[in-house]
């Protein structure tokens, strides 16, 4: 039977690349994100390219009631979710704690931690009822290490690491798989968002080495989602060859 994947944050970067690889491989796709214009365009584009069910849900994952409503609309239409990719997330700012911006902190904590929890809280009971499911959380090398000025973003990704482990413990008796993929540097809109729209600063991050492409991470997500049912990849760290750790990068310029 055809499976359905819901991807949080499918309007760009890793989430969008996941949507492509899963659609190409015959999964029904539910695209989500805040930018409604992009979502509608992508929905149309995917419908014309792939012969699977494509739909979209436009909500801000920080808004608990909007998340609950979005998942309710799935239940009302008897749509079940086989794979939830918890990808929506961001870094906002790169500062010391003493110079930190409260809005940046709230954005990161509310999206990366609370948003991930809200949607998981709503989807997990559906998976438990159907007796199967797979949650794949997009963590980060920032959830394994802490780097200068990364404080709060790193804390949110350490939280994703811990929540993944906790969720796996809670879900094991229901036969539900919970995995984390933790990438190093991936060239997406991530750095433009981190630097509040400063494209020059963002481009500099990826100069002098080949970062991961969103498709590299999407391929790993697809692999993790498609192991035999008795196999769970708990945690997968995926780095550019030129990046040895959060802070050690081999740059040629
Ligand atoms: P992008 O900025 O390209 O994509 C982020 C996605 O998250 C967008 O689709 C965005 O959609 C969505 N999103 C952000 N905030 C919200 C929100 N409040 N509600 C709903 N959706 C939201 O970055 P990436 O693809 O790089 O990031 C994806 C994930 O990967 C993040 O969790 C990030 O932390 C993680 N990651 C990224 C790495 C990198 O180097 N790029 C490395 C390791 C992990 P919209 O704006 O339409 O809402
Ligand atoms: C994104 C990668 O190293 O900028 O999570 O934190 S990093």
> DSSP assignment of 109-151, as one string?
IIIIIIIHHHHHHHHHHHHHHHT--EEEEE--GGGT---TT-H
Domain assignment of residue 74, yes or no: yes
Query: What's the rounded Cα separation, in Å, for the pair 183 and 238?
Result: 5
> What pLDDT, in 10s, does the model give residues 22-50?
999 999 999 999 999 999 999 999 999 99
Q: Indicate the pTM of the whole model.
A: 0.99
Strand ranges of the sheet holding 83-86, from the earlier edge strand across to the other edge: 54-58, 28-33, 4-7, 83-86, 134-138, 177-183, 235-238
- Lookup result for tokens 């040629």: 252
Confidence of residue 241 (pLDDT cuts 50, 70, 90): very high
Choose one of 14, 152, 153, 212 to mutate for the ligand 2 pocket test, by most ligand atoms within 8 angstroms of C-beta: 153
Would you state the pLDDT for residue 116? 99
Domain assignment of residue 248, yes or no: no
Q: Indicate if the pLDDT at residue 253 is higher than 90.
A: no
Q: Torsion angle, CA of 187/29/69/225, rounded to 10 degrees?
A: -70
Calculate how far, in angstroms, residue 114's C-alpha sits from the geometric centre of ligand 2: 19
Domain assignment of residue 47, yes or no: yes
What is the atom index within ligand 2 of the atom nearest the CA of 191? 4
Domain assignment of residue 246, yes or no: no
Calculate how far, in angstroms, residue 14's C-alpha sits from the geometric centre of ligand 2: 13
Q: 67 in the Ramachandran plot: left (φ > 0), alpha (ψ -120 to 50) or beta?
A: alpha
Domain assignment of residue 247, yes or no: no
Q: Indicate if the pLDDT at residue 79 is higher than 90.
A: yes
Tokens found for residue 159 = 């939280």
Q: 95 in the Ramachandran plot: left (φ > 0), alpha (ψ -120 to 50) or beta?
A: beta
The domain spanning residue 130 has which CATH number?
Answer: 3.40.50.720
Number of domains composing the chain: 1
> What pLDDT, in 10s, does the model give residues 166-199?
999 999 999 999 999 999 999 999 999 999 999 9
**Region 223-250 average pLDDT:** 98
Query: What's the rounded Cα separation, in Å, for the pair 74 and 165?
Result: 27
The parent domain of residue 203 ranges over: 4-238
Choose one of 90, 161, 196, 217 to mutate for the ligand 1 pocket test, by most ligand atoms within 8 angstroms of C-beta: 90
Domain assignment of residue 212, yes or no: yes
Calculate how far, in angstroms, residue 38's C-alpha sits from the geometric centre of ligand 1: 14
- Lookup result for tokens 């797979």: 134
């Amino acid at each position: 039977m055809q499976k359905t994947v819901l991807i949080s944050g499918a309007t760009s970067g890793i989430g969008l690349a996941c949507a492509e690889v899963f659609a190409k491989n015959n999964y029904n796709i539910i695209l989500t994100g805040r930018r409604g214009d992009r979502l509608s365009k992508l929905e149309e584009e995917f419908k014309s390219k792939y012969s699977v069910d494509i739909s979209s849900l436009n909500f801000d994952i920080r808004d608990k009631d909007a998340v609950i409503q979005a998942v309710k609309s799935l239940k009302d239409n008897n749509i079940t979710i086989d794979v939830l990719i918890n990808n929506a997330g961001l870094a906002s700012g790169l500062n010391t704690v003493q110079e930190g911006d409260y809005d940046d902190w709230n954005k990161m904590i509310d999206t990366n931690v609370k948003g991930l929890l809200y949607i998981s809280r709503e989807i997990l009971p559906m998976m438990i009822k159907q007796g199967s499911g797979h949650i794949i959380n997009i963590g980060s090398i920032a959830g394994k290490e802490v780097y200068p000025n990364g404080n709060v973003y790193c804390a949110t990704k350490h939280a994703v690491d811990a929540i993944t482990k906790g969720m796996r413990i809670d879900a094991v008796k229901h036969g539900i798989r919970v995995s984390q993929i933790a990438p190093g540097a991936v060239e997406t809109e991530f750095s433009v968002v981190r630097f509040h729209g400063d494209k020059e600063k963002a481009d500099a991050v990826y100069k002098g080495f080949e970062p991961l492409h969103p498709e590299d991470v999407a391929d790993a997500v697809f692999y993790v989602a498609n192991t035999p049912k008795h196999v769970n990849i708990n945690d997968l760290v995926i780095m550019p060859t030129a990046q040895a750790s959060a802070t050690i990068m081999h740059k040629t310029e």
